[in-house]
Amino acid sequence: MRVGLAATTAPWSAGLRSYVRDHSQGVSVEVVMDRPGLERALGGLDVLVFDDIMRTFSVADISRAQSYGVHVIGMFDQARGAGRQYVSGLGPDQVLPASLSPAELLAAVREAVEARPKLKVRHRSQEGAFVPGGGRDGRKSRGVVGAWTKVSGGAGLSEALVVAAEQLSRQGRVLLVEAEEVAPVMLSRLSRSPEGGLPWALSRAAQGLPALPEALSPPRPGVPGPVEHFDLVCAAPTIAQPINPFELERFLGEATLRYNYVLVETSWLAGLGGARERPSSARAVLRLAASIVVLAGADPEGAGRLVQWKAAALAAGVSAPAFAAFGRARSSRYEREHLRSVVESNTGRHPFAGFAFLPEDPAVGRARWNGELVQRGAFFDAVRELAAKSVSAAVPVRDGAGETLGGPLGPGQPGGNVALAAASNGSAGT
């Protein structure tokens, strides 16, 4: 049994290491210094123990460890540390007092390992395969992060996202996060108040504190808005402000513990990590996502930008299945096939997972004018099909005996665990 201890100066850590060395067999203990150290250890750890003294890890780190089948224990010290509430907010499987003796703590560790279900652990050779997270009693659900982005302006990304979120809300809890840095529109489109929202959520994440449900953008007082069945976190309607990718990652980690589907509208992926570019948060979202939708204008320029996006995404380490969508597409079959062939012939061995054509539809303009949701029409049908395809990328993970460990949520499973096997598109350039 391998136990990882987050680096800390607290007496419980030194006491446990000494006790294991002198009195236990079959147990190895190693100190995990930081996030890169945790990343290297994942796939081999059985238990991770952290405390409220050093505050080494975030919600996203804890969630990632749990996705590998690691049982996470949080130790709290009300006198010296941040306390039980802080530890609980990070989402561990167990919360224990730091006053436990080394023998009692090791007994709790053994009990947790013996009682946990036999989960399939992801190793580095299994790119994109996820396993259910959460406690052994199944109280926590693991949500799906879906990234929706664009390479052309005015193609209808915001309207497509709203339709997709409304459709997926029929299957489970949905949170729409507007991580748009340049021209956010959700506040006005869905008549929401600027209170709360993404700036508040990121501020809480920077402090290592939970942000939900307070970060949700509430309806604007006295203004009737469209009736939707999903929750929303809007960006601030101000001048362009860069989004801290680490804070956004922490917030999304918290969101996946509360929602079955987390749809994120993200900015353009302009280039590589060393390039002069604004939206570094886009790469963080795309690497977290289980599936991606990329919207482009329905013209040769849009097709060329999709090819450039694919090359930049692969170079940045994005491996989730990506679906190419053309917005405001004409009904001409010849034009659609031509655009598809341009993209397919230039993406080589790493193609898009699928294509969608979202037609120009007067119903969209009427819905925006009247402050309503799009409920029918050709655009509605195309987005509904696209949303279903993107969610179908979540494939159940099976253990060695063929037993399903988890899968996409159905209408009768609002709190079930979601296991993903996001098919890798490769890691080399096009």
pLDDT above 70 coverage of the chain, percent: 82
How far CA 416 is from CA of 90, 125, 139, 212, 408, in Å, comes to 20, 27, 9, 20, 9
Task: Verify that 300 and 380 share a domain, yes or no.
Answer: yes
Kindly give, in sequence order, each residue whose CB lies less than 8 Å from that of residue 220, ignoring residues fewer than 6 positions away.
Answer: 191, 192, 193
Please give the average per-residue pLDDT across 352-360, as a whole number. 93
Contact yes or no for 261/210 (Cβ under 8 A): no
Which CATH number characterizes residue 54's domain?
A: 3.40.50.2300
- Does any domain span residue 55? yes
CA distance 68 to 255: 18
> What rounded mean pLDDT belongs to the chain?
79
Which domain, by its residues, includes 82?
Answer: 2-115
pLDDT reading at 224 higher than 80: no
Span 19-36, pLDDT tens digits: 888 887 778 888 888 888
- Say which residue, 300 or 403, is predicted with more confidence: 300
Pull the structure tokens for residue 356.
């969608």
Asked whether residue 199 falls in the same domain as residue 308, the answer is yes
Does residue 86 sit in the same domain as residue 210? Answer: no
Confirm whether 160 is domain-assigned.
yes
Count of residues making up the chain = 430
Q: Does residue 15 form part of some domain? A: yes
Q: What percent of the chain has pLDDT over 90?
A: 29
Domain membership of residue 130 (yes or no) is no
Within this chain, do residues 190 and 313 fall inside the same structural domain, yes or no? Answer: yes
CA distance 30 to 384: 48
Claim to verify: residue 275 and residue 387 sit in the same structural domain: yes
- 106 and 159 in a single domain? The answer is no
Indicate if the pLDDT at residue 129 is higher than 90.
no
Identify whether residues 342 and 233 lie together within a single domain.
yes
Q: In this predicted model, what pLDDT tens digit does every residue of 388-426 receive, in sequence order?
A: 998 887 533 333 333 333 334 333 333 332 322 223 333
How far apart, in whole angstroms, are the C-alpha atoms of residue 210 and residue 255? 10
The structural domain count of the chain equals 2
Whether residue 175 sits in one domain with residue 90: no
Whether residues 199 and 275 fall in one domain: yes
Answer whether residue 13 is part of any domain. Answer: yes
pLDDT tens-digit series, residues 158-196: 999 999 999 998 888 899 999 988 788 888 888 888 888
Burial status of residue 166 (CB atoms within 10 A of its CB: 0-12, 13-18, 19 or more): buried
Q: Which residues contact 341 (CB under 8 A, 6 or more apart)?
A: none
pTM, entire model? 0.61
pLDDT tier, 73 (very low <50, low <70, confident <90, very high otherwise): very high
Give CA–CA dist 248/240, Å, rounded.
16
For residues 183 and 57, state if they share a domain.
Answer: no
**Per-residue model confidence (pLDDT) at position 324:** 94
Whether 100 and 173 share a structural domain? no
Q: Domain with 214 in it: what CATH number? A: 3.40.50.300
In a domain, 428, yes or no: no
| 88 within some domain | yes
If you average pLDDT over residues 304-318, what whole number do you get?
Answer: 88
Residue 269: per-residue pLDDT: 67
Q: Would you say 4 and 32 are in contact if contact means Cβ atoms under 8 Å apart?
A: yes
Q: What is the mean pLDDT of residues 301-324?
A: 89
**C-beta of residue 196 within 8 angstroms of C-beta of residue 236:** no
Whether residue 133 is contained in a domain is answered as no
